[in-house]
Amino acid sequence: MAKQKTAFVCDSCGYDSPKWLGKCPSCSQWNTFKEIKLGSGKKNEPEALWEEPENKSNGLNKNKATRLSEVSSDEQPRIITEDLEFNRVLGGGIVPGSLVLIGGEPGIGKSTLMLQISQSLGTNKKVLYISGEESAQQISMRAKRMSLDSHEIFLLTETQIDHIFNEIKTIDPDLIIVDSIQTTVTPQNDSMAGSITQIRDCTATFMKFAKKTQTSVILIGHITKDGSIAGPKILEHMVDTVLQFEGDRHMSYRILRTTKNRFGSTAELGIYEMIKDGLRQVNNPSEILLSQREEHASGIAIGATLEGNRPLLVEIQALVSTAAYGTPQRTCTGFDVKRLNMLLAVLEKRMGFRLGSFDVFINIAGGIKIEDPAIDLAVCAAVISSANEIPVPKDACFAGEVGLSGEIRAVNRIDSRLAEASKLGLDTFYLSKMQKKSISNEYNKLNLGWCNKLGDALSDWLVR
């Protein structure tokens, strides 16, 4: 018998090598190479697994060079679901022929979300739900518990990709959901399910099928312990859109983020609430994030942030206490701890607040992670409020980036932030003085606190 050929593939970026290497030449990561078995050389091309439906070919199988000016730039109509949050994250709906990858922790609600998306398409679209992890009875029980109308949802429990495409030829669906890509295997490869080569080959097969037949495919992927999608990074490069479904399983809120999108923005955000009947869309998350705050407690400030095109008002909670040990703690939940250290240094150097011997804890209420520098001003206000035991006014909102010299810098899309604050009844808004010319006249009725330095935003309520 011929000797089985092997290769070594980087688990981080997908770089392959004929021999084991300690450091990857592509991504510079150490000890990431894993040995894989190469295929047996069976000539079973992926294109032979299906026959292109004539009504979906649309001339895309003619691989000929064409002038760019002659290519039609008309955008194809998207598949619109009843889930407004899902449509927003994808950039307006599901693009025909797109390959979408969604990842998340076990039990976070990925399968529940996909069942709801399947049901929301109604009777105009046929959906094929392929499950390699659960039995048909388990999925049926979940659909009944969620009170879903599953008449137009076709269910297939299969892991062999050739059997899957035999059913696809029979049903001719408009949307295919694969749960999950790590359980799918192809006979072209002799390695076990979930290996790097199996994931890559199966994803490539679905990608070719989606592009040539204009059928949308959604892949559900597992994640590793560090939160990244399992498999090499090349899996995320192959697909059109990468969605991350995140949240604490012990909390009711779930967040759907997009980290890659060839058909829309990569900064959009969808928020859901997990209830007994499934996932409920949260159309106005600001009201929920602020509904449980204490009105007169110190260490609480409201910041205006943006997630994609959506303005949000978030509650920043700060706790400043005397350090019990020699080294003070700096702990953040939902906020960058390095950013916090910089803001504390600015408060000490420019404002004279001595916080070097105090523990500082920051929490963004609701389990949301914020990277927008516009909440710097709100974080500083919450920290000073907790340190001096002086509550921030309940109708105050902050939006401003804090520079190293203590200046308040302008933030983008200030009108959207002002509109969200006004809608929730907040009538005092602290922002940079550099944005006076960019404010619409309709917001003059608000009490705008123009700030040039950090002390300008704190002097109104701190000194009493």
Annotated binding site: 104-111
Secondary element (H or E) of residue 207: helix 196-213
Edge-to-edge strand list for the sheet holding 99-104: 153-157, 127-131, 175-179, 216-221, 99-104, 241-246, 253-261, 269-275, 278-281
Instruction: Output phi, psi for 391, to 5 deg.
Output: -65, 145
C-alpha 365/C-alpha 250 separation (Å) is 14
Instruction: State the binding site for ATP.
Output: 104-111
Q: What number of other Cβ atoms are within 10 A of residue 249's Cβ?
A: 12
User: What is the DSSP secondary-structure string of 379-436?
Assistant: HHHHHHHHHHT-PPPTTEEE--EEPTTSBEEP-S-HHHHHHHHHHTT--EEEEEGGGG
C-alpha 250/C-alpha 272 separation (Å) is 14
**Do 352 and 421 contact (CB within 8 A), yes or no?**
no
User: What is the DSSP secondary-structure string of 303-340?
Assistant: EEEEETTEEEEEEEEEEEEE-SSSSPPEEEESS-HHHH
Q: Which two tokens stand for residue 21?
A: 């290497």
Give percent helix, percent strand, percent coil of the chain, each to the nearest 5: 30, 25, 45
Q: Which two tokens stand for residue 272?
A: 């859901």
